[in-house]
Amino acid sequence: ETGVTQTPRHLVMGMTNKKSLKCEQHLGHNAMYWYKQSAKKPLELMFVYNFKEQTENNSVPSRFSPECPNSSHLFLHLHTLQPEDSALYLCASSQDLRDTQYFGPGTRLTVL
């Protein structure tokens, strides 16, 4: 695998479910990001991790819980989501916090 990979690519969940999104980067980068892209809206930054430490939480509701066990892996744990949370969730990584970000293919999430 090369670049940034995300699994699953598609996810449908009910409001009471608990699920997790996974991101893995094979680029040797130190920073990782979660973004949300809703229809007809710009990409919205959610979380930033640098060397496994969270450096940014962009006022994201607590029903989204990130986890970064090492510089190559990033998770987004989901619980009791709302239908308005349905969106494309994109993971990205960069060499450092100032460098260009490289994106994964995204997870298309639908909350019923």
In the set 50, 64, 68, 74, which binds another protein (CB under 8 A)?
50
- Binding residue (CB under 8 A) for another protein from 56, 73, 79, 95: 56
Q: Which helix (H) or strand (E) element contains residue 109?
A: strand 107-111
Residue type at position 79: H
Backbone φ and ψ for 84, nearest 5 degrees, come out as -70, -5
Residue closer to another protein (CB basis): 13 or 45:
45
Among candidate residues 88, 78, 80, 7, the one with its CA nearest the CA of residue 44 = 88
Q: State the DSSP H helix or E strand holding residue 2, giving kind and residue range, or none if neither.
A: none
Q: How far is the CB of 41 from another protein (least distance, A)?
A: 7
**Residue 38: CB minimum distance to another protein, A:** 10
* 76 is an interface residue for another protein by CB under 8 A: no
In the region spanning residues 10 to 39, those forming contacts with another protein, defined by CB under 8 A, are: none
Q: How many CB atoms sit inside 10 A of residue 66's CB?
A: 20
Name the residues that contact another protein, by CB under 8 A: 4, 6, 9, 40-43, 45, 48, 50, 55-56, 90, 92, 97-98, 100-106
